[in-house]
Structure 1
Amino acid sequence: MFTFRFGVDDLAATWFSCSPLQETVLSLRARRSPTYYPEQQPWIVGWQSRYETLDTVLLASLAAPSGFVPDFLTPRPAVPRPEFAAELAGMAATPPEVARADVLAAYRGDGSPVPPVLAELLDDPSRLVARAAEALEAYWTRCLAPAWWPRARSVLESDIVYRGRMLSERGAEGLFADLDYRLSWRSGVLTLDDEHPATRALGTSVDLAGRGLVLMPTLFGRGAQTDITQVGPPLVCYPARGKATMAEGLGTYGRAAMADGPLTALIGVPRARLLAMLETPASTTELAHRLGVTPGAVSRHLTALTAAGLLERNRHGRSVLYGRSGLGDALVAGVPHVTAGR
């Protein structure tokens, strides 16, 4: 558990950013865990032939199996809307010993062995930094920058506009309560409770001491996460609202990619898509807006999924939020459900 203690000036010093480099790095999670990111699969299908011309062995190793990435790959933005080239240049200047330590920490937290390609590069971490920068630049240029990033940037910036409105209308408590289920605000203290054991082991209390906080939406987060290890204000990264809209209008191959799989065969396309979307809780109205259908249509499917024990229903202020249950998580992940709940 992390707690952030706000002083008198810290809320005024808190600001939002969206990072093209972070989204580039974290997008590698979508290849490892397609079920968790169904809205990204049409894009991955579309650029697959270009991706195969890249340094795919290294790229595949930059995100560990459970999603951890070495911190040096995602430096904290210094401005609200950084350019990819500037962020990449900053990353490429990482001291080799820092990059080496970050790789080891990411895989130690994940609990997985370091892949051979990274193990070899750890003997010469300056080469690791240079090769990672080269691979990410090519991935960005050939796959993400032409069409994916303009759509992604629109979703991220729309989220930031919405959060600003929440802050102005409902204050800090309303803002943080709406960001993510892992976050809570009380009497000037923001608490982030991450269920992952490796993250919980790092938990600490942070006095912002006038530095404020950087809040950053992402398309590739399953819940709010923090980074307190870098110089400057701490960062909280949270799942962007509206991320399911990334796949809208991509044609029949996109719909086929999202509809494929045993989960769809079991419960049907609409319910499988809703279950995949509800990695973070959402209301009926929000889900209807994302999908472009009526709230009534969504409500019928939510009722059925809740009755089957795949969703949990909780009141949040005036809204009722639906989120996956332990059984729902297990079904989406494709693993046997062996406990009664969590």
Structure 2
Amino acid sequence: MIEFRFAVGDLATTSFAYSPLQEAVFSLRCLRDPARYPHHRPWLRRIRPRLEGLDRELLTAVVAPWLWVPDFLTPRPERARPSFAEQLEQVRATPAGIVVADFHAAYRAHPLPPAVARGLAEPSAFLTRLTDALDAYWRVCLAADWWPRVQSILEADLAHRGRVLAEQGAGVLFAGLDDRLSWTGSHLVLSTRDFAVPAPWTDVAIEGRGMVLLPTMFARGAQPLIDPSRPPVLMYPARGRATLSEEPPPVTGDALVRLLGRPRARLLLLLAEPASTTELAHRLGVTASAVSQHLTILYDAGLLHRTRSGRIVRYARTRLGDDLCR
């Protein structure tokens, strides 16, 4: 097991965030072992033709056989909702020695893939090739349609965790992230009983550095960084991640359709969890402006509420909307 030791005040500096760069890097696990991620199969089928024009040899080599990735590729977010571009700039500034050490730590005693072994002979040039490959992968395969849906799921997860913390406290919050986690007063304990390979350490002191909790679409359980000397991060499975592969629900209630019309009825059914206009448009295969018009009418009728995060507005059903759907 791994114990994260909290001193007085450490819990007050524990926060949530999500990372588009982390999700992009972790999505490469799908390329190495697609059977582990069934809810990403529709996306994988769509992007396979696009991968042919990318540096696939290097992108696949980023992930070790047990699905570990080098820590420097998933830097701890400096704010709750960083952009992919700003995080990629952090990676571009990684010292050469850390690039080499982190790849060896991820692969442990396992031989490095040829693409990595050759590259690490000149780590600065290798880092440029790697970050360019990740940038192209993001633009070609993720940014346009995949990330808006994933971001909506991550936002909904953060909203849910905030409610749990406010209403039930830190103990219930941590236990709800993963059943392998437990809170014991001043220690957060992570069971490692089903880790693919043994963790290289068992004890982490938070020591005023704060812990950042990051939901991810690509983990079966909570996992820390490989290097315990880095600022503390704990990744955990995002709530609702399996909905990524769901088709929009059929509208079966004739009364609901007659009352609202089919487009608004379908939107209301989709909004059991918060979603943005862009994400809803992608799911329904329509324009964002068409979705926006229907959302405004549902909001004005008291069936939806909305919250703003920066420039993004997310909608979800009110209690009246829930009752109507039932």
| TM-score class normalised by the smaller sequence | 0.7 to 0.9
Cα distance change of structure 1 residues 189 and 211 upon mapping to structure 2, 3 Å threshold: same
Question: What CA deviation, in whole Å up to 9, does each residue of 1:188-225 have, x standing for no partner?
Answer: 21011223374433222x33233321000000012111
Partner of 1:160: 158
What pairs with 1:215-230 in structure 2 (closer than 5 Å)?
Answer: 215-227=213-225, 229=227
1:82 and 2:77 equivalent?
no
Identity %: 49
What pairs with 1:1-342 in structure 2 (closer than 5 Å)?
Answer: 1-108=1-108, 112-195=110-193, 196=195, 198-204=197-203, 206-227=204-225, 229=227, 233-249=231-247
Report the AA paired with residue 22 of structure 1: Q
Once residues 198 and 160 of structure 1 are traced to their aligned partners in structure 2, the CA distance between those partners, rounded to angstroms, is 29
**Secondary structure, aligned partner of 2:59:** helix
1:96–1:125 CA contact under 8 A, matched in 2: yes
Cα distance change of structure 1 residues 210 and 238 upon mapping to structure 2, 3 Å threshold: same
**Secondary structure, aligned partner of 2:53:** coil
**Secondary structure, aligned partner of 2:158:** helix
1:228 CA displacement: 7.0
**Secondary structure, aligned partner of 1:78:** coil
2:76–2:233 CA contact under 8 A, matched in 1: yes
Cα distance change of structure 1 residues 60 and 233 upon mapping to structure 2, 3 Å threshold: closer
TM-score by length of 1: 0.69
Let me know the Cα RMSD of the aligned residues.
2.0
Q: Which has the larger radius of gyration?
A: 2
Once residues 35 and 96 of structure 2 are traced to their aligned partners in structure 1, the CA distance between those partners, rounded to angstroms, is 35
Structure 1 unaligned residues grouped into runs of 5+? 252-288, 291-342
Once residues 172 and 203 of structure 1 are traced to their aligned partners in structure 2, the CA distance between those partners, rounded to angstroms, is 22
**Secondary structure, aligned partner of 1:238:** strand
Once residues 119 and 225 of structure 1 are traced to their aligned partners in structure 2, the CA distance between those partners, rounded to angstroms, is 26
Once residues 28 and 105 of structure 1 are traced to their aligned partners in structure 2, the CA distance between those partners, rounded to angstroms, is 18
Structure 2 unaligned residues grouped into runs of 5+? 250-271, 274-326
Provide the aligned length of Structure 1 versus Structure 2.
Answer: 250
1:23–1:220 CA contact under 8 A, matched in 2: yes
Deviating beyond 3 angstroms after TM superposition, the runs of 4 or more aligned structure 1 residues are: 228-233
**Secondary structure, aligned partner of 1:217:** strand
1:55 CA displacement: 0.4
Bigger Cα displacement from structure 2, 153-162 vs 3-12: 3-12
Once residues 91 and 184 of structure 1 are traced to their aligned partners in structure 2, the CA distance between those partners, rounded to angstroms, is 32
